[in-house]
Structure 1
Amino acid sequence: MKIRIVGPCGSGKSYVAKLLSQKYEIPCYEIDDMVWKRGIEKNRFDEDIRNKNLEDVLEKDSWIIEGAQSTNWVQNSFIKADMVFILKISPLVIDFRIIMRFIKAKLGISKMNYNQEFSELIKMIVEWNHGYNFEKIKACTKGIENKAYWVKNIEDIFKIIEKVNEK
């Protein structure tokens, strides 16, 4: 099974990917890990390395790939997926999640993949949530609408997978 999950930051992509990974014993991959060299500094991998990282995953028999990205270099992750889930969660719910994630990270309650500053929090809310471009997602799923599912909650993903697997 090959699953692509996309949506704004804070929509639950990583959370649902981990749940699906555990339930179906399928490895999950974050696109951010293919883009960013994790560490104190925010450094990107060279595009060639980034693209190779993605292609290596796409060649596997099964995978779950999650990320907010919908640019050209990730197009194959939509095409090669058996199912694409677009998380269309309420922006206010996402705002709350982003703020709580920020607070928990600052208090040391939970760990982030990067050091988040207040300016990044604002950027996440304004640009990456309220400014998230769902039109790009529509473009990425053009021609594969039969396997693209717009969902408003995580429970729907499990229901859809079970229904698809029954066929």
Structure 2
Amino acid sequence: MKIHIIGGSGSGKSTVAKQLSEKYSIPHYDLDAIFWDKNAEQYKIKAPVFIRDNKLKEIVGQPSWIIEGVYFTWLDPSFALADKIFVLHTPLSVQEERIWSRYYQRKTGLLSSTKKETINSVNELIDWNKKYIENYLPNFINNTKYKDKIIQLENNFAIFEYIS
């Protein structure tokens, strides 16, 4: 089984991907882990493209996987091999609430993280996420050559209804 999950920040991608991974014993990959440079001194520093692309090739070369993230412009290898591409349309207000909650949990130590977020970076993420939901994601859905694989959902747990 090869599953790709797309949605805005706070849409529930990671949560449902982890649950699917546990239920079906399939490795789960968060694209943030290969897109961003975790060793950078500052927040929001991208990993070198050749490193990112090589990591993606390693992942999609496996017999099964669950990949999740907000990205789509560099993911043709994943989309081409995916059995299904789930797009989550969680309400923006829910996403924003989850983004702030996650920030608070990381800053207070309730949630382990190596991210170097600030209040300004969270506000920037919320602004970017709104554009993503209103413009970037619809553009991807309307123009992708993988329309036949896309399943759009308003509830991340509805994915379980499509997987057997």
TM, length-normalised to structure 1? 0.88
Counterpart CA distance in 1 for 2:140 and 2:80 is: 12
For residues 83-117 of structure 1, the C-alpha deviation after alignment (integer angstroms, 9 at most, x for no partner) is 10101110001111111111111222112340110
Structure 2 residue 81 is the aligned partner of structure 1 residue 80: yes
Counterpart CA distance in 2 for 1:120 and 1:36 is: 14
Quick check: 1:40–1:115 contact (8 Å CA) kept in 2? no
Counterpart CA distance in 2 for 1:3 and 1:148 is: 11
Give identity over the alignment, percent: 33
Partner letter of residue 122 of structure 1? N
Aligned to 1:165: none
How many residues matched? 159
For residues 6-56 of structure 1, the C-alpha deviation after alignment (integer angstroms, 9 at most, x for no partner) is 111111111111000000000011111112232462443321111111011
Counterpart CA distance in 2 for 1:151 and 1:118 is: 30
Q: Unaligned regions of 5+ residues in structure 2, if any? A: none
For residues 143-164 of structure 1, the C-alpha deviation after alignment (integer angstroms, 9 at most, x for no partner) is 33222110100221000113xx
Structure 2 residue 92 is the aligned partner of structure 1 residue 91: yes
Quick check: 2:11–2:156 contact (8 Å CA) kept in 1? no
Aligned to 1:155: 157
RMSD: 1.6
Q: Unaligned regions of 5+ residues in structure 1, if any? A: 163-167
Q: Secondary structure at the match of 2:127?
A: helix
Runs of 4 or more consecutive aligned structure 1 residues displaced over 4 Å after TM superposition: none
Report the Cα offset of residue 124 of structure 1. 1.5
Counterpart CA distance in 2 for 1:113 and 1:93 is: 24
Report the Cα offset of residue 139 of structure 1. 4.9
Report the Cα offset of residue 78 of structure 1. 1.4
Aligned to 1:119: 120
Partner letter of residue 154 of structure 2? K
Structure 2 residue 35 is the aligned partner of structure 1 residue 35: yes
Structure 2 residue 130 is the aligned partner of structure 1 residue 110: no
Counterpart CA distance in 2 for 1:139 and 1:49 is: 29
Partner letter of residue 84 of structure 1? I
- Which stretch of the first structure deviates more once superposed, 142-151 or 81-90? 142-151
